[in-house]
Structure 1
Amino acid sequence: MNILQNIHTFDVQTFYWFMARKHRARLTRIGRAISFTADGPLYVAAAIIFWIAGYDTLVAVLVFGFLLERIVYFVLKRGFKRNRPADALDDFCSFIIPSDQFSFPSGHTSGAFFIAYCLSEWFPSVNMMLYFWAANVGLSRIFLGVHFPTDTVIGALLGIACAAFMIGLLV
């Protein structure tokens, strides 16, 4: 149990470091916009556009991969039941109201890295832009005060793992 306590202590210290940034208010405003891009409806719109454009295999990877990612995400979320920063820290309130109770892992980050990995396989010329966006989704979730840093790191790994698995399975 000592290792979990050490991770939590590191997470809290890193979280407070993020919150102490000089331009946090501006970063929070930007974070809302970036976080919105990973809410989910834009993924559905993208899948429809790719389907219309004839990228049937990509659409299959996106649909089945997201199903896998969401299942694993919910199992982890319900299994770990890690409180969000506003519930875990006495002196903190988040800047948005999260969609669910628990923090670990970050679903927005997982979804963003899932999309970044999948689209990078089909469109490698834009992979830097996609991963930059995905990383900023993860950072935005921290700056909005709804996730600890390790929530976003594990979310990123979850998204990448599900994408790699589904691409390996279907392509």
Structure 2
Amino acid sequence: MRGVLLEVPRALHRDREERSLPPSSLKDKRKDRSPTKAKALLAITLILSALISLWALESLFWRSGLWQGRVGPSWLLDWEEKTFILINRRLSSPALDPFMEGVTYVGSIFFWLGVTVAFWCKGRRRGAALLFFALLACSALTLAVKIFVARVRPYQAIVGARVLSAGGSFSFPSGHSGNSFLSATLIGRKFRKAFPYLYALASLVAYSGVYLGAHWPLDVVVGGAFGVMVASLTLRFERKVLKLLYANE
């Protein structure tokens, strides 16, 4: 009986020692975290570097005139001019101008990055990580196509166009339209009831680009298609994106 009583404290002491030692699984996780964080940081750094480089290159070409701008495909130009004039001049109204100027800012990447921060602060960190990654990827794609196509703004080609938002870069495709449709697709997947309202807002942003004289109709259509495509690919490879950016949660 005495031996049994002496064995109990020893067993408790051994149990405490075992608990104080980190399990092998925890050791493995801690070893894996550093490479994972390094990969995530490297991926974000590369995307941001590409984004800044493309933006600087496009600004250089746009402001210096080193890259000769194009008007657009001749077979489509007639339809685009008629559609642009219809929206930009015939359907315009001084009473609508301030509203459209406000709507177009909803398509800014800074607006949607603000939404991303709000999601993060509300605890929806996985959704925020997906939206952040998709916005950067879509912006990089948009800037690359802008430089390659180098399409002039409609007010540079159409006499008498109303210009309420000139834009500081090439026209095709529309980044505001892309950001809006991308965000509507990603956020609408989580909030199903808000899906039609988000797409209505994205469509209004696209419409405002033509209304304000900043974009051709094809610019906003292709920009929106880019946004939906990038969002769909992000959702298709959601696990891989989260594993890269947010694997430790």
Name the TM-score, length of structure 1 as normaliser.
0.91
Q: Does 1:160 align with 2:228?
A: yes
1:147 to 215, 221, 225: 215
Matched to 1:66, the amino acid is L
The 5 A counterparts of 1:67-146 are 67-98=136-167, 100-146=168-214
Deviation, 1:25, is 2.3
Q: Which residue of 2 aligns with 1:65?
A: 134
Give the stretch that moved more between structures: 51-60 or 132-141: 51-60
Please say which structure displays the higher CA radius of gyration. 2
Give the stretch that moved more between structures: 132-141 or 55-64: 55-64
**Gaps (5+ residues) in structure 1?**
none
Deviation, 1:19, is 2.4
Specify which structure has the bigger relative contact order, considering alpha-carbon pairs within 8 angstroms and separated by 6 or more residues: 1
Deviation, 1:102, is 1.0
Give the stretch that moved more between structures: 55-64 or 70-79: 55-64
Aligned to 1:25, the other structure's residue is in SS state coil
Name the TM-score, length of structure 2 as normaliser.
0.64
Identity of aligned residues (%): 24
- Alpha-carbon deviations, 1:116-169, whole Å to 9, x = none? 001001111100110010000000111100001110000110000000111111
Distance 2:204 2:215 in 1: 13
Q: Which residue of 2 aligns with 1:56?
A: 125
Distance 1:23 1:86 in 2: 15
8 Å CA contact 1:85, 1:94 repeated in 2:
no
Q: Which residue of 1 aligns with 2:78?
A: 9
Q: How many residues align?
A: 168
